[in-house]
Amino acid sequence: MGSNKFLQSLMASFLLLMFAANSNAQIDSLINRKLKDSLVVKVLPFKTTIQWVGDHPYDWNEGSMILAKGYQQYLNGGVNFKWKNVELQLAPEIVLAQNLQYDGFNEVQDKVHWRDYYRFYNFIELPERMGNTQYTKLFGGQSFLKYSFKNTSVQFSTANKWWGPGFRNALILSNNAAGFPHISLSNKKPIQTKIGSFQYEFIWGQLINNGHAPPASYLKYNGQQLYAPKENRSRSFQAMHVQYTPKWFKNLTLGVEQSFVQYEDQLYGIAQYIPIKNIIYRLPNEQLNQPITLTAFYFNYELPAVQAKIYGEWGWNLNRTSLRNWLIQPDKGMGNVLGLSKIFTSQQKHFWEFKAEMANLQLLTVAEQFTTGAPPSWYLGSYVRQGYTNNGKLIGAGIGPGGTSQTIELNWRRGNNRIGMSGERRLHNNDFYVYSFTNSGDFRRFYVDFATSLKIDWTIGKWDLGPRITYVQTNNYNWELFQPATTYFVPGRDKQQFIGKLNLIYHFN
């Protein structure tokens, strides 16, 4: 997108906000308006995010926004209707991005490393760049149609969902990608029993294929084409989430999650649509037709006396295993998220908030790291080769296959206002690094980001302002290192950049 056109889009969004701000008299007549037939109409807050990336994409958990260099803008707004047991929300999203070209996995890398690169990225749809031109797309966004009956809700939606206790990573469902069309069945209020309370949610959806190829898809190795194009087949998504609070431990929450991705033309019979696999429906043994199955357990323990909590989430990407094998080798196929938070009160009206989280999706056993065939890394699909993605982005933890992250954050808070700083280390696809580089004894090429961010969230009248500035130091960018003939210990290709972001929300009521 040319800079002039992009500035025009920014100006248009600000003019729209100013028009909305000066039209309260007309809009207020629609907000929370109760008609004779009990219809309630509510205008949703107008949201926009403006982002500038100086060198190459870094962040995750950005929903329908894409990984792109240059300017990018996100727009969201809509209306909510409630009538008796029916609720309709229309909240589409628009994303506009310059999508400028940037350096990716470099063709100067040895062809062996390109072969290993495609060993991973032939089994997941994570393009470096969403095409070669400006990017403009309309999404269903946070829209839904819901019907409630007693304590049950049935919903058709394109809205995002976040499962699990983490604030930076979630193994099964997160807001890293745009929402996808799905039907869900859930309870409205916790179900009370003699042993405690339960909440549940079941999802049936369809993931969207992206179609953009990885970089240098024309390359060959020993005469063989490295890139294997993916079939444009519809993918079915099924998932279940059950949360339990024991009667005897009111501050403890336990949860189990499971998701299942398969090509729709491989689902036969109603039993395969029950979203609890290997319990109610046993997965088949055919190795050439394996779905992507992820299972996770988590806990969240509140410590109200000291205003703190600790949490953890453990998941496995195994289609089939036995209790004996799991007890002998629980680290096979495992990923995890661990974290804590703490509030420090003061005599004043403000308080301090500390948060920390680490996530690990690396393969932990040598047998998995050097397996033949498709790598068993998280979110890859040996048969469903678009992997665990929607429109080219992961729907689970944004650190991706073989990734790790460690995040700490300290915030000064007063009410909803916040000023904070965070520090983060992210290690990119260490499964690829171990497979492609460690056999040669080269332990210098870890591809690592170190990010420091200043975050402000402030409410002024009906406006919520949220500026962000991030400095990113990247070491060994895309595992690149130029090796001179005489010196072994040399720095890799390091990059530094700033990323700026501004979140704006206008509340109509």
Work out the number of other CB atoms within 10 angstroms of the CB of residue 378: 30
Strands (E), 177-307: 182-187, 191-193, 196-207, 220-221, 224-225, 235-246, 252-263, 292-303
Domains: count for the chain: 1
CA 69/CA 49 separation, integer angstroms: 15
Question: Tell me, what DSSP letter sits at residue 325?
Answer: H
287 confidence band (pLDDT: 50, 70, 90): very low
User: Is the model more confident about 51 or about 107?
Assistant: 51
User: Is the model more confident about 484 or about 376?
Assistant: 376
What CATH code is carried by the domain that includes residue 34?
2.40.160.130
Report pLDDT digits (tens) over 125-143. Answer: 999 999 999 999 999 999 9
- Virtual CA dihedral for 472, 478, 483, 488, nearest 10 degrees? 60
Q: Which two tokens stand for residue 417?
A: 């206002």
Residue 87 structural domain: 3-462+469-506
- Cβ–Cβ < 8 Å for 318, 366: no
Question: Which one, of 499, 505, 491, 389, lies nearest residue 454 by Cα?
Answer: 499
> Would the pLDDT of 80 be above 60?
yes
Please list, in sequence order, all residues whose beta carbon lies within 8 angstroms of the beta carbon of residue 230, skipping any fewer than 6 positions away: 125, 209, 385, 386
User: Is the model more confident about 37 or about 16?
Assistant: 37
Report pLDDT digits (tens) over 181-192. Answer: 999 999 999 999
Report pLDDT digits (tens) over 232-263. Answer: 999 999 999 999 999 999 999 999 999 999 99
Place of tokens 């029950």: 274
Give strand pairing partners of 224.
221
Report pLDDT digits (tens) over 322-344. Answer: 677 778 888 888 999 999 999 99
